[in-house]
Amino acid sequence: MSRYGKAEARLGVNRLSGNAAADDGAPAQTIHDVLVVGSGAAGLTAALVLAETCRVLVLAKGSLDGGSTNWAQGGIAAVLDEGDTFEDHIRDTMIAGAGLNRRETVEFVVENAPAAIRRLVELGVPFNAAQGALHLTREGGHSHRRIVHVDDATGAAVQKALLDAARAHSNITLLPGRTCIDLITGRHEAARYSGSGRVWGVYALDEASGKVEAHTASATILATGGAGRVYQFSTAPRGATGDGIAMAWRAGARVSNMEMMQFHPTCLYNLEVKNFLITEAVRGEGGRLVNPRTGKRFMEFYDAERLELAPRDVVARAIDAEIKKFGLDYVHLDISHMPADFVREHFPNIYEKLMGLGIDMTTSPIPVVPAQHYTCGGILIDLDGRTDLPGLYAAGECTESGLHGANRLASNSLLECFVFGDAAARDILRRRDSFDAPPEVRAWDESRVTDSDEEVVIKQNWTEIRRFMWNYVGIVRTNKRLERAAHRIQMLSGEVNDYYGHFRVTTDLIELRNLLQSAELIVRSARARHESRGLHYTLDYPQTDAVARDTVLVP
């Protein structure tokens, strides 16, 4: 039973009073022109475009730089070299996506990539240069060098530049420490109970005070990132719990291709330091995958033509197969045959991190394993970032725009954030005069709930979800494994929803609810696809259908 069931326990009746003032006299409803949920590449790009004429509120769970953007090591793909073409980038993206991509989306993003890079340069992102031009590297699946980067910490540099610009803009309000609970729609209007799916903002928990606030706006953009933390092993940050995807689904928006979860082939294997990514560019600059038992390269047995530069799904399955076949804990990624100065210059952050762990990558191989890395499916959007719900836009990893298809091409992720963050903002500006002002909405009511006396329930369920998703809905799937996962989700749903309906919300509880919802969408989507394509590989349907079809789920 959802929180809107059980006598509308949380938001429908008991959780919402008829006024817009909190019990302590502080305003329970803030009103802005546009609300952006997420302070990463997509959210801040949109905010900066909108802020020229709109008052924009940016909400962030935890810190302003705690999202996935700040973690991105690789770079941003764009056609900038004389020998490269838009058509080459489009073809590489479509091949990696196993034909499930929507070509109009791929064309749109690829053709807007150079302009996105120029805007970042203008913001002061210090991209690496060589001989008076941007230095371009190459990553798996790319036919040319087209990856602009800032050493091996591009995301951190981009995050800093965007945040600095946002902080300096008088029309942008940045509000960290806000965990969003649900979208505000017509059903939450104070004057009437409307069945309208029109989105007016979000209810969000102030993590410091424990109070729930209503933040309303004429338009809302979800830029909340992916759902990587639904898996036991992931390179995603702690907050990647599928919040935006789950909220949009509960409000009535369709989601698509949630079964397409990308596993990065090379995450550092270390029992003390978890989730440290070894960027694709290590392989792009000559890194080789080696079986530590045999001492031999093994990619020639899985993709003799592309070897280590095959798309990520191919490389991840090859490593997974090698580990299972030989009973290994990890494989080796070895770039020690390259000059030491070259390695240190190209990968200074990775080099320093590994040296701190006693691994010198200039002389020794790096132990690596696959880990969940990117959510290729998500909220269904069009080329303007619009969802099914009026007033609701989305951009970045929480979406399914049609760019990635069945597998994301390396370094297309940040690019998607910039292009769709910009597109959503510009569509809002075009339509702004037709948007109504947000209504007064009902305030959050906690009169019938109490503080939890068993937080261990949240931790236990979180651990269980991540473990069975890794074991049953991972790199290689079967009908039986998916059935087992679905059964466990069904059992946990009643327990989590009952807990949610009786106790005050906390960030952990909100995330648990969203993790479970995301897991359910992933499993439903995987069970609906009766073929192997890209990231979805199942032993029961090893063939690939002649026609590529999206898996679209309707609430």
Cα 344–345–348 angle (5° rounding)? Answer: 60
- In this prediction, residue 9 carries a pLDDT of 32
Does 491 lie in the same domain as 385?
Answer: no
Split at pLDDT 50, 70, 90, the class of 1 is very low
If you average pLDDT over residues 220-248, what whole number do you get? 95
Does 479 lie in the same domain as 408?
Answer: no
- In this prediction, residue 27 carries a pLDDT of 52
Does 421 lie in the same domain as 482?
Answer: no
With helix as H, strand as E and coil as C, how does 62-118 read?
Answer: CCCCCCCHHHCCCCEECCCCCCCCHHHHHHHHHHHCCCCCCHHHHHHHHHHHHHHHH
Residues 80 and 116: their CA atoms lie apart, in Å, by: 12
Residues 457 and 455: their CA atoms lie apart, in Å, by: 5
Does the predicted TM-score (pTM) go above 0.85?
Answer: yes
Residue 327 has pLDDT above 70, yes or no: yes
Which residue shows structure tokens 């990463």?
40
Does 289 lie in the same domain as 233?
Answer: no
If you average pLDDT over residues 114-132, what whole number do you get? 94
Containing structural domain, residue 179: 32-71+151-260+376-434
Instruction: Indicate the number of domains in the chain.
Output: 3
- For residue 137, tell me if it sits in a domain: no
- For residue 533, tell me if it sits in a domain: yes
Does 322 lie in the same domain as 307?
Answer: yes
Nearest residue to 46 (alpha-carbon basis) of 430, 414, 420: 420
- In this prediction, residue 459 carries a pLDDT of 87
- In this prediction, residue 232 carries a pLDDT of 86
- For residue 109, tell me if it sits in a domain: no
- For residue 308, tell me if it sits in a domain: yes
Residue 275 has pLDDT above 80, yes or no: no
Query: Hey, is 289 helix, strand or coil?
Result: strand
CATH code of the domain covering residue 357: 3.90.700.10
- In angstroms, the first-to-last Cα distance of the chain is 15
Identify the domain boundary among 318, 338, 371: 371
- For residue 227, tell me if it sits in a domain: yes
Residue 298 has pLDDT above 90, yes or no: yes
Does 366 lie in the same domain as 383?
Answer: no
If you average pLDDT over residues 193-217, what whole number do you get? 92
Nearest residue to 333 (alpha-carbon basis) of 377, 381, 370: 370
CATH code of the domain covering residue 170: 3.50.50.60
Judge contact between 30 and 214, C-beta under 8 A: yes
Positive or negative, the CA dihedral 391, 397, 400, 402 is positive
CATH code of the domain covering residue 520: 1.20.58.100
Segment 516-551, tens digit of pLDDT: 999 999 999 999 999 999 999 999 999 999 999 999
Does 187 lie in the same domain as 207?
Answer: yes
For 474, left (φ over 0), alpha (ψ -120 to 50), or beta?
beta
Residue 18 has pLDDT above 70, yes or no: no
Residue 64 has pLDDT above 70, yes or no: yes
Residues 108 and 383: their CA atoms lie apart, in Å, by: 8
Split at pLDDT 50, 70, 90, the class of 10 is very low
Identify the domain boundary among 350, 371, 392: 371
Q: How many Å separate Cα 405 from the centre of its chain?
A: 15
Contacts of 52 (CB under 8 A, 6+ apart): 171
Segment 384-404, tens digit of pLDDT: 999 999 999 999 999 999 999
Tokens of 189: 């209007």
Segment 173-196, tens digit of pLDDT: 999 999 999 999 998 888 877 777
Phi, psi of 40 (to 5 degrees): -95, -155
Residues 406 and 78: their CA atoms lie apart, in Å, by: 20
Residue type, 458: I
Does 320 lie in the same domain as 244?
Answer: no
What are the distances in angstroms from CA 217 to CA 52, 290, 421, 435?
Answer: 17, 53, 17, 10
- Work out the number of other CB atoms within 10 angstroms of the CB of residue 202: 25
Residue 38 has pLDDT above 80, yes or no: yes
Does 353 lie in the same domain as 211?
Answer: no
- In this prediction, residue 2 carries a pLDDT of 34
The DSSP code sequence of 314-367 is: HHHHHHHHHHHHHT-S-EEEE-TTS-HHHHHHH-HHHHHHHHHTT--TTTS-EE
- For residue 108, tell me if it sits in a domain: no
Does 174 lie in the same domain as 196?
Answer: yes
Residue 23 has pLDDT above 50, yes or no: no
Query: Hey, is 189 helix, strand or coil?
Result: strand
Pairing of strands 552-553, 255-256: antiparallel
Segment 256-273, tens digit of pLDDT: 999 999 998 899 998 887
Poorest-pLDDT segment among 17-31, 46-60, 193-207, 246-260: 17-31
Contacts of 113 (CB under 8 A, 6+ apart): 76, 77, 78, 79, 89, 415, 419
Residues 217 and 391: their CA atoms lie apart, in Å, by: 9
- In this prediction, residue 21 carries a pLDDT of 40
Tokens of 251: 């409000």
If you average pLDDT over residues 494-498, what whole number do you get? 90
Identify the domain boundary among 321, 353, 371: 371
If you average pLDDT over residues 425-431, what whole number do you get? 97
Computed over every residue of the chain, the mean pLDDT equals 91
Residues 373 and 222: their CA atoms lie apart, in Å, by: 20
The DSSP code sequence of 417-471 is: HHHHHHHHHHHHHHHGGGPPPPPPBPEE--TT-B--S-THHHHHHHHHHHHHHHH
What are the distances in angstroms from CA 357 to CA 120, 236, 271, 489?
Answer: 34, 21, 11, 38
408 is catalytic: no
- For residue 445, tell me if it sits in a domain: no
Does 203 lie in the same domain as 67?
Answer: yes
- In this prediction, residue 456 carries a pLDDT of 82
Residue 291 is given by DSSP the state -
Residue type, 343: V
- In this prediction, residue 279 carries a pLDDT of 87
- For residue 446, tell me if it sits in a domain: no
- In this prediction, residue 45 carries a pLDDT of 98
Positive or negative, the CA dihedral 236, 241, 245, 248 is negative
Does 162 lie in the same domain as 244?
Answer: yes
- In this prediction, residue 141 carries a pLDDT of 85
Q: Which of 3, 198, 312, 466 is catalytic?
A: 312
Judge contact between 264 and 316, C-beta under 8 A: yes
